[in-house]
A and B are shown apart, each in its own frame.
Chain A
Amino acid sequence: MTPGSGGLPLELMRQVTAATAAALDVLAEQAPGEAGELRRVAARSWSTPTVVVAGEVKRGKSSLVNALLAAPGLSPVNAELVSGCAVRFRHGPLVEARALPVGGAAALPVPVPVAGLADVVFTPGEQQDQPAQPRLIEVAHPSPMLAGLSLVDAPGFGGLVDAPGELALAAVRDAAALLFVADASGPLGDPELTFLRVASEAVELVVVALTKIDVFRGWREVLAEDRALLAGLAPRLATADILPVSARLAERAVAATAPELTALLHTEARVAELRRLLRTSVAAQAEQLRGANTLRTARTLLTTLDHRLLAEREVLAVERGGIEGWHAERQALAGARRAGGRSWQVRLRAEIQRARLETMTEVQQEIRDQAQHWRVRIDRADQPALDRLPAELDAVIRVLSRHHIERMLARLCGVTDAVLGELFVPEAVAEVYAGFARSPGWSASLATPERRARSPEDRVVALGGVMAGFGAGRLVALVPAMAGAGLAAAVTLPVSVGLGLAAST
């Protein structure tokens, strides 16, 4: 393992601490309130990072998870069936499992017997009280492996049914690390490489586990070929760790009684090395995320402070110029307002209309395509395939709706940028965004496992949505009110004056 690819070097850690301390010093002097906020962020504890275990179907993901947890048979393994939904393993004093049904936060988790996991994972639920396959199964287990991280056993992709590839990718986007499971039967195939390329863009740390080295005696050659393939894929992946492991030997080691035999099997299974690597590098990853988040908050706070001080300096400069400067400024602004008229309102309306149309066209097109696709599937399906269809359809819809929501968010962000860009000077736009970033309850967080990290832009989208709802006329009153948090001390900013005038007309 090369230094810096996973673990956080001490030097960098020291720099992060120093930078945070320096930022605290500046803030404590200029803005004690903000300094308190930075202190709070720096001390915040993080929820455990998630490691997603993903790979093609039948590569031995579930077996590997069981080996990592030293819990044979916990995650259901079947040589013929393919897991249909993700299983999340988190730390808990007792072994227990619950299913989180489709339907978001409103749907309550259903307890599942641990021994009956296989039924839930492999077959779409057919019981009356559980109409669909669950969204996620959560298993608590006291394994020390789970103390610092949680594992998600994602459904395999590349099977003959096409949906779960997207599901696995979606799971990776929320994770701190990807544990990619390939096996020693042959070098990585095209679907695997494609998955790795896409996934490595979303997740920082990629570890490859080469499973089944007990059966495939050519695993050393395969490992060398995989390394070359990864290097060809992306420079960052060239240094990714590839660890050969054997889940079967690990399982036998647990079952073995003679101590020297257990030791030998453990050595040959090589699971301990993978365990160690995950623990150190993912824990380090969590530390790194924490450092990055602290620094990001510090930067936002300092930028705001910088703008505020600049504004104050401007005000002081104007005061030095005398009251005539003010009058001139006011007249110039009033002129600009009359000249500009309400063009920004027209533009906002047009942009929102366009975004609405584009989104609708896209969604309609998607619905047409999907309807076509599923019609063909239903026509060709036999009875078992039909039984599987609802679960697959559900999975695909979930992925697609997420995709479209993201597209719509991006589009509304564009609208907001365009309109705000017309109204405000860039510094003031930054100030508005910063205001959202700092407002309580919205603080940036990268480690929340369930929700994607929110950027200030996303919040402005929320504003965009509100704007669309209220209509442009009332927006005038709304914007200063919302921006107020950021502009608190800067009442004399030229823009505020302009807005104030607009509001009073």
Chain B
Amino acid sequence: MGQDTAGGPLCRTVGQTCRELRPRLSGLSSARLDRVLERLSDPLQLAVAGRLKAGKSTVVNALIGRRVAATDVRECTRLVTRFRYGPVDRVEVVGTDGGRYAVPFDGDGVVPTELGLPIDRIAYLDAFCTSAALRSVTIIDTPGPGPAGAARGHRSRTALDRAEAVLYVFTQTARVDDARALTGFRARTVPGLASPINAIGVLNKADLLDAPEPISAARSLAASQARALRQQLRTVLPLAGLLAETTATGCLTEADGEVLRQLAALAPGRRELLLGSADLFVRPDPAIAVAVAGRLRLLERLDLFGIRHATDLLAVDAALTTGELRRRLAERSGLAPLRDLVGDAFGCHADGIKANVALTALRHIGRQAATARDRAVIADAVEELAQQPLAHQLRVVAAAALVSSGAVRVPEQLAVELDRLAHGGDPVDQLGAPHLDRRGLAELALRRARAWRAFATAGSSPAQGRIAHVVHRGYVLLWQRLGDAAEAVGTGDPDQDPAP
């Protein structure tokens, strides 16, 4: 998916414009343009952000499927680390002076503690991993806000500036400073997108909520947080981070399974007492034959909720294999929906997001250009790009984001239709009519264009009207494209009323 979406139709259009522009620009502007082009061909840059101790690195490991980010309190968790796909595992240290040199991962395959430079002279880390998950997305692990993060703030910008989407991790409940941090983060990293299309919230440590059934409590809590933060986040997903990390990275060994079986065999009262608190769980007790070291390891791998769930499963069915146990625990962690969303939502939006970011960067270069000629050339190119039928899809995507975020309300049916139009892969998907031939599709597009125009002019609020106009034009362009390909249905000017 990754390599093709990175070069999706929208990105290709913007890339084409950039390549045409390049020879006509002066030195500085063309060098900046090269960076935009470079970014267009990279996978989507996803930043993982959140408060200190929210479990950002745990989420990163779970997504990558390998324990590469240090999750304990090491200095490197106070650095921005970019995890990218690479043929060889290595970590590149990028100094504040721009110099780079490589260090190997440490013995456990984790980003090493010893980096060879004092921490205040390191701008960020570039970690290359062979994990398949990184082919379609580059994950940027950010330090939490705090004294350490703030001091290095301007230096770690280089890596953060490249973020195109955000995974915001919080625990228990989003607080007012989370909302503020998120707004600030998005304003800094992806100023081109005024919609939450590229931001997902993760309600981490869902298993630690103070409720009898933490995971289902987390699910409804996540839903209400998503409503409260709909201006900033596309959605909020609950996640038991540690459980997800352990099961996704294969850290639950056969030995751990054996300890779990021993625990499951204990008398229910004793087991219940052990699971009372973390301190109680690792308390040496002569009456319990399970070694404390094994228990400690389990606690670090699964936490109490995971252990409780696993022993419950084993108590019911003692013959459960460790592999099966791992699968059931993974199911409980909530990682699968998150992975799907990151792959899917960002994946199918990646083209739109990346193209939008590139377009914003292009406009920015235009405004900052040294010579009036450069400014005029770039402004013309951007204008021309906006005239292209394909570029209009960017606006449709933005409109769909406005609707899905709840910032603008339209009737439910129209919202579903708009989402389809914005995110469908081809005209059949976009129109949601697999049974129609090309001609039928063209007619359907025309009918929908009329319907949206009627909605735009009659009985809609100004915000709805703006959206409806964008959608109307989107359908007209689709109709035109379908018509052009099938036969010359008409040479109707898309800006005029397509209705006869």
Tell whether A and B belong to one assembly: yes
Q: Mark A residues whose CB is within 8 Å of B.
A: 56-58, 60, 63, 77, 79-80, 158-160, 162, 183, 185-187, 189-191, 212-219, 221-222, 246, 248-249, 252, 261, 264-265, 268
Q: Report whether B278 and A189 are in contact in the complex, using a CB–CB cutoff of 8 Å.
A: no
A-B contact pairs, 27 of them (CB 8 A): A57-B175, A58-B173, A63-B210, A79-B209, A79-B211, A80-B217, A80-B224, A158-B176, A159-B175, A159-B176, A160-B175, A160-B228, A160-B229, A185-B171, A185-B208, A187-B52, A191-B175, A191-B177, A214-B277, A214-B278, A215-B208, A215-B277, A217-B299, A217-B303, A218-B53, A261-B273, A268-B277
Q: Measured between alpha carbons, how far is A74 from B224 in the docked complex, in Å?
A: 26
Is residue B388 contacting chain A, with contact meaning CB distance below 8 A? no
Supplied contacts A160-B175, A187-B52, A191-B177, 14 more A-B pairs, CB within 8 Å: A57-B173, A60-B210, A79-B211, A158-B176, A159-B176, A160-B229, A186-B51, A186-B54, A189-B52, A214-B278, A214-B280, A216-B208, A217-B278, A217-B279
A194 nearest in chain B by CB position: B177
- Chain A residues whose C-beta falls within 8 Å of the C-beta of B229 in the assembled complex: 160
> Interface digits, B30-69 against A, CB 8 Å rule (1 contact, 0 not)?
0000000000000000000001111000000000000000
- Chain A residues whose C-beta falls within 8 Å of the C-beta of B277 in the assembled complex: 213-215, 246, 248-249, 268
Name the residue in A216, A221, A248 with the highest tally of chain B Cβ atoms < 10 Å from its Cβ. A216
- Chain A residues whose C-beta falls within 8 Å of the C-beta of B115 in the assembled complex: none
Is residue B389 contacting chain A, with contact meaning CB distance below 8 A? no
Q: Report whether B276 and A249 are in contact in the complex, using a CB–CB cutoff of 8 Å.
A: yes
B221 nearest in chain A by CB position: A80
A212 nearest in chain B by CB position: B210
Is residue B304 contacting chain A, with contact meaning CB distance below 8 A? yes
Q: Total interface residues on B, using CB and 8 Å?
A: 34
Q: Report whether B145 and A190 are in contact in the complex, using a CB–CB cutoff of 8 Å.
A: yes
| Known A79-B209, A190-B177; contact A58-B172, beta-carbon cutoff 8 A | yes
B73's contact among A60, A213, A221, A261, by CB below 8 Å, is which?
A221
> Interface digits, B167-182 against A, CB 8 Å rule (1 contact, 0 not)?
0000111111101000
A244 nearest in chain B by CB position: B279
A56 nearest in chain B by CB position: B175
Main secondary structure of the interface of A (DSSP, over half): loop
- Chain B residues whose C-beta falls within 8 Å of the C-beta of A183 in the assembled complex: 172
A189's contact among B175, B224, B228, by CB below 8 Å, is which?
B175
Is residue B220 contacting chain A, with contact meaning CB distance below 8 A? yes
Q: Which of chain B's residues 155-210 have a Cβ closer than 8 Å to chain A? A: 171-177, 179, 205, 208-210
- Chain A residues whose C-beta falls within 8 Å of the C-beta of B54 in the assembled complex: 186
Q: Measured between alpha carbons, how far is A252 from B274 in the docked complex, in Å?
A: 13
Q: Mark B residues whose CB is within 8 Å of A.
A: 51-54, 73, 145, 171-177, 179, 205, 208-211, 217, 220-221, 224, 228-229, 273, 276-280, 299, 303-304
- Chain B residues whose C-beta falls within 8 Å of the C-beta of A252 in the assembled complex: 276
Q: Measured between alpha carbons, how far is A58 from B304 in the docked complex, in Å?
A: 20
B210 nearest in chain A by CB position: A79
Name the residue in A187, A189, A246, A268 with the highest tally of chain B Cβ atoms < 10 Å from its Cβ. A189
| Known A58-B172, A186-B51, A268-B276; contact A80-B220, beta-carbon cutoff 8 A | yes
Q: Report whether B221 and A158 are in contact in the complex, using a CB–CB cutoff of 8 Å.
A: no
Q: Report whether A158 and B73 are in contact in the complex, using a CB–CB cutoff of 8 Å.
A: no
Name the residue in A58, A79, A218, A249 with the highest tally of chain B Cβ atoms < 10 Å from its Cβ. A79
- Chain A residues whose C-beta falls within 8 Å of the C-beta of B52 in the assembled complex: 186-187, 189
- Chain B residues whose C-beta falls within 8 Å of the C-beta of A213 in the assembled complex: 277-279
Q: Measured between alpha carbons, how far is A231 from B171 in the docked complex, in Å?
A: 26
Q: Report whether B304 and A191 are in contact in the complex, using a CB–CB cutoff of 8 Å.
A: no
Q: Measured between alpha carbons, how far is A248 from B172 in the docked complex, in Å?
A: 16
Give chain A nearest CB distance to B472 CB in angstroms. Answer: 26
The 8 tightest CB contacts between A and B, nearest first, are A186-B53, A214-B277, A217-B278, A79-B211, A58-B173, A215-B208, A158-B175, A58-B172
Give chain B nearest CB distance to A297 CB in angstroms. Answer: 44
Q: Report whether A189 and B276 are in contact in the complex, using a CB–CB cutoff of 8 Å.
A: no
B179 nearest in chain A by CB position: A160
| Known A187-B53, A213-B277; contact A79-B208, beta-carbon cutoff 8 A | no
Q: Measured between alpha carbons, how far is A151 from B27 in the docked complex, in Å?
A: 70
- Chain A residues whose C-beta falls within 8 Å of the C-beta of B176 in the assembled complex: 158-160, 162, 191
Q: Report whether A79 and B221 are in contact in the complex, using a CB–CB cutoff of 8 Å.
A: yes
A380 nearest in chain B by CB position: B231
Q: Measured between alpha carbons, how far is A124 from B174 in the docked complex, in Å?
A: 22
Give chain B nearest CB distance to A77 CB in angstroms. Answer: 8
- Chain A residues whose C-beta falls within 8 Å of the C-beta of B208 in the assembled complex: 185, 212, 215-216
A215's contact among B53, B221, B304, by CB below 8 Å, is which?
B304
Give chain A nearest CB distance to B295 CB in angstroms. Answer: 12
- Chain A residues whose C-beta falls within 8 Å of the C-beta of B73 in the assembled complex: 221
Q: Measured between alpha carbons, how far is A215 from B277 in the docked complex, in Å?
A: 6
- Chain B residues whose C-beta falls within 8 Å of the C-beta of A159 in the assembled complex: 173, 175-176
- Chain A residues whose C-beta falls within 8 Å of the C-beta of B51 in the assembled complex: 186, 189
Q: Measured between alpha carbons, how far is A158 from B280 in the docked complex, in Å?
A: 32
Q: Measured between alpha carbons, how far is A190 from B44 in the docked complex, in Å?
A: 31
Give chain A nearest CB distance to B275 CB in angstroms. Answer: 10
Q: Report whether B276 and A185 are in contact in the complex, using a CB–CB cutoff of 8 Å.
A: no
Give chain B nearest CB distance to A463 CB in angstroms. Answer: 43
- Chain A residues whose C-beta falls within 8 Å of the C-beta of B205 in the assembled complex: 185
Q: Measured between alpha carbons, how far is A191 from B51 in the docked complex, in Å?
A: 12
- Chain A residues whose C-beta falls within 8 Å of the C-beta of B173 in the assembled complex: 57-58, 159
| Known A215-B277, A217-B299, A265-B276; contact A158-B177, beta-carbon cutoff 8 A | yes
B275 nearest in chain A by CB position: A214
A188 nearest in chain B by CB position: B52
Q: Measured between alpha carbons, how far is A35 from B107 in the docked complex, in Å?
A: 80
Q: Report whether A268 and B279 are in contact in the complex, using a CB–CB cutoff of 8 Å.
A: yes
Q: Measured between alpha carbons, how far is A265 from B175 in the docked complex, in Å?
A: 32
Q: Report whether A222 and B53 are in contact in the complex, using a CB–CB cutoff of 8 Å.
A: yes
Give chain B nearest CB distance to A202 CB in angstroms. Answer: 22
Give chain A nearest CB distance to B282 CB in angstroms. Answer: 8
| Known A60-B210, A160-B229, A191-B177; contact A214-B171, beta-carbon cutoff 8 A | no
Q: Measured between alpha carbons, how far is A265 from B224 in the docked complex, in Å?
A: 34
Q: Report whether B177 and A185 are in contact in the complex, using a CB–CB cutoff of 8 Å.
A: no
Q: Report whether A185 and B279 are in contact in the complex, using a CB–CB cutoff of 8 Å.
A: no
Give chain B nearest CB distance to A94 CB in angstroms. Answer: 29
Q: Measured between alpha carbons, how far is A268 from B276 in the docked complex, in Å?
A: 9
B278's contact among A158, A160, A215, by CB below 8 Å, is which?
A215
- Chain B residues whose C-beta falls within 8 Å of the C-beta of A77 in the assembled complex: 210
Give chain A nearest CB distance to B287 CB in angstroms. Answer: 12
- Chain A residues whose C-beta falls within 8 Å of the C-beta of B273 in the assembled complex: 261, 264
A78 nearest in chain B by CB position: B211
- Chain B residues whose C-beta falls within 8 Å of the C-beta of A218 in the assembled complex: 53
- Chain B residues whose C-beta falls within 8 Å of the C-beta of A215 in the assembled complex: 208, 210, 277-278, 304
Q: Measured between alpha carbons, how far is A213 from B281 in the docked complex, in Å?
A: 13
Q: Measured between alpha carbons, how far is A74 from B277 in the docked complex, in Å?
A: 23
Give chain A nearest CB distance to B70 CB in angstroms. Answer: 14
Q: Measured between alpha carbons, how far is A483 from B64 in the docked complex, in Å?
A: 80
Q: Measured between alpha carbons, how far is A248 from B171 in the docked complex, in Å?
A: 19
Q: Measured between alpha carbons, how far is A77 from B173 in the docked complex, in Å?
A: 15
Q: Report whether A268 and B280 are in contact in the complex, using a CB–CB cutoff of 8 Å.
A: yes
Q: Measured between alpha carbons, how far is A60 from B176 in the docked complex, in Å?
A: 17
- Chain B residues whose C-beta falls within 8 Å of the C-beta of A56 in the assembled complex: 175
Give chain A nearest CB distance to B58 CB in angstroms. Answer: 12
Q: Measured between alpha carbons, how far is A268 from B228 in the docked complex, in Å?
A: 37
- Chain A residues whose C-beta falls within 8 Å of the C-beta of B210 in the assembled complex: 60, 63, 77, 79, 212, 215, 248
B224 nearest in chain A by CB position: A80
A252 nearest in chain B by CB position: B276
Give chain A nearest CB distance to B280 CB in angstroms. Answer: 6
- Chain B residues whose C-beta falls within 8 Å of the C-beta of A191 in the assembled complex: 175-177
Give chain B nearest CB distance to A208 CB in angstroms. Answer: 17
Name the residue in A186, A219, A248, A268 with the highest tally of chain B Cβ atoms < 10 Å from its Cβ. A186
Q: Measured between alpha carbons, how far is A56 from B174 in the docked complex, in Å?
A: 11
Give chain A nearest CB distance to B50 CB in angstroms. Answer: 10
Q: Measured between alpha carbons, how far is A269 from B145 in the docked complex, in Å?
A: 31
A59 nearest in chain B by CB position: B172
A261 nearest in chain B by CB position: B273
Give chain A nearest CB distance to B205 CB in angstroms. Answer: 7
B73 nearest in chain A by CB position: A221
